[in-house]
Each structure stands twice: as C-alpha cells, then as structure tokens.
Amino acid sequence: MFYSWQIFKVNAISVRHSATDNERLVSYNINLPVPLIPNENVYSVIRDTIVHDFDNSPGIYFQISAVYTLVNRDTGDLRTWTGSFNPRNRQVSQLSAHRRFEADSFINFARANCSVEVAVQKLTANSDARTTAGKTSVWSLQDLKAIIFTFQCRLYPTHRLFTIRPELRHVRDSDGSHKGAEFNLEAG
C-alpha cells in the first residue's frame, strides 16, 4: 500500500483571509519522507520553492511538525498521527514553534531540527507527563514517517504565486471555500 507521507510533495491551499477579499492566506504543507531526511539537497529544494513561489514576500512563517505512528501499549493498535503528540494536555510536543522564514538561515535551522534522532527526542520529550483526562496515555511513539514543513503567508490576489499556481486562484466569497493544489518536488 502507498501512503501520501511517502512522497516529497507540497499540499497547498488558498483561503479568503479578509472580508473585503483583499488578501488570501496561502499555506504550503511540504512533506519530507524519512528516507530523504539525510539528503542535504532537500532543504535547498524546500527553501527555493518557498522563495520562488512566494517571491520572497515578507511575512512568511513556518512550523515543523511530523507524521508518525503511535502504538497502544495495551492493545497493540497502531495509529498514524500528524502534528502534536499530546493533543489533549498542555505538554505540546513539536519540532519547532512558528517562526519567520528567512531564506539565509532556513537550511541550517531545518537540518538542526529534522534529523530522525532530534525529531524522536522532541516528540517524546514530555512522555512522562502525557495524560488524557487525568490518566497516563497508553499511546507511545513507534516510528517517524515524515517531517512536515508548514509555510503560511498572506498575499494579495495579484501576487505572482496565483499566476504560477493558477489552481489556487478564485476563492469563492459566498461559501468561504478554499482552493487546493498538490505537486511533487524533486529531491535531486
């Protein structure tokens, strides 16, 4: 069976951000499969994609999260999870907080926060405090599947991104819907 987290790709969405329709919130979720994490070139590909598509706009923010498998210690059930390992308590496990995208420092930051060892350590950092409704969770981390880079930026409808990614244009105002696009990246 083939899963979406096994592909080096972008899932992009564009949503109407303002009541006057003057801005769109564009989000790029870039999936980096575990086998590609050691490939030094992937971080340049990610940076260059963001610089190219967002035209190095100010106000680009990103966060790093992950896709991973949890195992239930009591039943052996498996669950593939994305994002925070501790969704119900206040001990959030994350790979990075939201931060401003800076092309010059992105690659070093990504390398420092995306090794399998660092990701596992960060995802399990609060494992002793993991509770749900006051009880210790039966779920524990089994393995890491992918790193997810989420980039967000507010853009005007005239921004060049909507020319190079036309499938993200024309968000309908009446129902608040969004437009989406998916495209693969080459690891090189």
Each residue's pLDDT tens digit, 156-179: 889 999 999 998 886 655 555 668
**pTM for the full predicted model:** 0.84
Give burial (CB, 10 Å; 0-12/13-18/19+) of 79. Answer: exposed
166 in any annotated domain? yes
171 assigned to some structural domain: yes
The answer to whether residue 150 is domain-embedded is yes
- pLDDT for residue 94: 65
- Please give the pLDDT value at position 90: 46
Q: What single-letter amino acid sits at 17?
A: H
Strand partners, 70: 79, 141
pLDDT tens per residue, range 51-110: 999 998 889 999 998 888 888 888 988 888 776 555 444 445 567 888 999 999 999 999
Q: What is the pLDDT of residues 119-136, one digit of tens each?
A: 888 777 655 555 555 566
Which pLDDT belongs to residue 21? 67
DSSP string, 130-172: -EETTEE-SEEEEEEEEEEEEEEEEE-TTSTHHHHSGGG----
- State the DSSP code for 61: E
Residue 134 placed within a domain: no
19 domain-assigned: yes
The DSSP secondary-structure symbol of 141 reads E
Q: At what angle do helices 103-113 and 41-54 cross, to 10 degrees?
A: 140
pLDDT class of 17 with cuts at 50, 70, 90: confident
Upper half-sphere CA count for residue 15 (Cβ side, 13 Å): 8
Is residue 102 in a domain? Answer: yes
Return d(Cα 28, Cα 44) in angstroms, integer.
16
Q: What is the count of structural domains for the chain?
A: 1
Residue 133 — φ and ψ, nearest 5°? 55, 40
Domain-embedded: residue 23: yes
Q: Inform me whether the pLDDT recorded for 12 exceeds 60.
A: yes
Q: By residue range, what is the domain housing residue 41?
A: 4-67+96-126+145-184
Between 145 and 126, where is the model more confident?
145
Torsion of CA 83, 167, 62, 67, to 10 degrees: 20
Distance CA(16)–CA(129), nearest Å, equals 39
